[in-house]
Amino acid sequence: MVKVYTIASGKGGTGKTTTSANLGTCLAELGKETYVMDADMGMANLGIIMGLEDVPITLHEVLAGNAKVSEAVYDGPCGVKVVPSGISLKGFQNADPDKLRDVMRELIGKCEFLIIDAPAGISRDGVIPLAIADEVILIVNPELSSMVDALKTKILTELVGGSVKGAILTRATMENTEVSKQKMEEVLGVKVIGIIPEDPNTRRAAAYKSPIVVKYPDSDASKAYRRIAANLAGTTYTGDLEKEKSREGFIERLARSIFKGKK
């Protein structure tokens, strides 16, 4: 059965596109036929992260009625298929976001997972990806303002008939944070399904135009993305079992550190 996930956030800079790229790559690594589509048509960055920033046909041309969906599909790392949006403002103006449903219908006939990178914030372009997905995954930073923005996105998703699967906490550190996991789950009304630690390798990988799970596969952030992808795929992430046995994992220590005792 095909599963469509929209990756959404209330504001930019939370790690939404990075999460879309890495989860899609991880699912492909697991042998799942996976497509990742950049529906953030005004601020398209997915293609850059995937090393596909200079392609002749993008989702813009498809939504403008000037190209077929198949012409905008490109091979990404680890076998993931990528449907990038263009960086041209003219292309953005000509694109009709109402056609996203038709694009999605065509893609789901070819894959097991479709990951949609949604625009940040609340806009007409952003509503459609929330409505057409099977489930929405919220990307949240461990800050009060980010949680409030995520709550608005959750409410909007439900208003348009969508469903929220859970939240992913990104850019987490061992330092004190404004919001605990317990409080976040209480306010948002959904589970935190994963924690991505702040990792300097994320920016380094982006500079190389590559997902971190490809460029730095042994990094803590990469392992965290693989855990989440395995969960979405219904499998178990094993990682490096010997290292896991010999010492407590960084993610577990991080989770305990940033969430301990906060209400």
Q: What is the pTM of this model?
A: 0.89
Phi/psi region, residue 7 (left: phi>0; alpha: psi -120 to 50; beta: rest), is beta
14 assigned to a ligand binding site: yes
CATH of the domain at 202: 3.40.50.300
Number of domains making up the chain: 1
Query: Whole domain around residue 98: which residue ranges?
Result: 3-259
16 assigned to a ligand binding site: yes
Q: What is the 3-state secondary structure (H, E, C) of the chain?
A: CCEEEEEECCCCCCCHHHHHHHHHHHHHHCCCCEEEEECCCCCCCHHHHCCCCCCCCCHHHHHCCCCCHHHHCEECHHHCEEECCCCCHHHHHHCCHHHHHHHHHHHHCCCCEEEEECCCCCCHHHHHHHHHCCEEEEEECCCHHHHHHHHHHHHHHHHCCCCEEEEEEEEECCCCCCCCHHHHHHHHCCCEEEEEECCHHHHHHHHCCCCHHHHCCCCHHHHHHHHHHHHHHCCCCCCCHHHHHHCCCHHHHHHHHHHCCCC
pLDDT tens by residue, 194-211: 999 999 999 999 999 999
pLDDT tens by residue, 71-124: 999 999 999 999 999 877 677 788 898 999 999 999 999 999 999 999 988 777
Note the pLDDT of residue 256.
Answer: 61
Note the pLDDT of residue 126.
Answer: 86
Low-confidence ranges of the chain (pLDDT < 50): 241-242, 244-247, 261, 263
Report d(CA 12, CA 212) in Å as an integer. 19
Note the pLDDT of residue 250.
Answer: 58
91 assigned to a ligand binding site: no
58 assigned to a ligand binding site: no
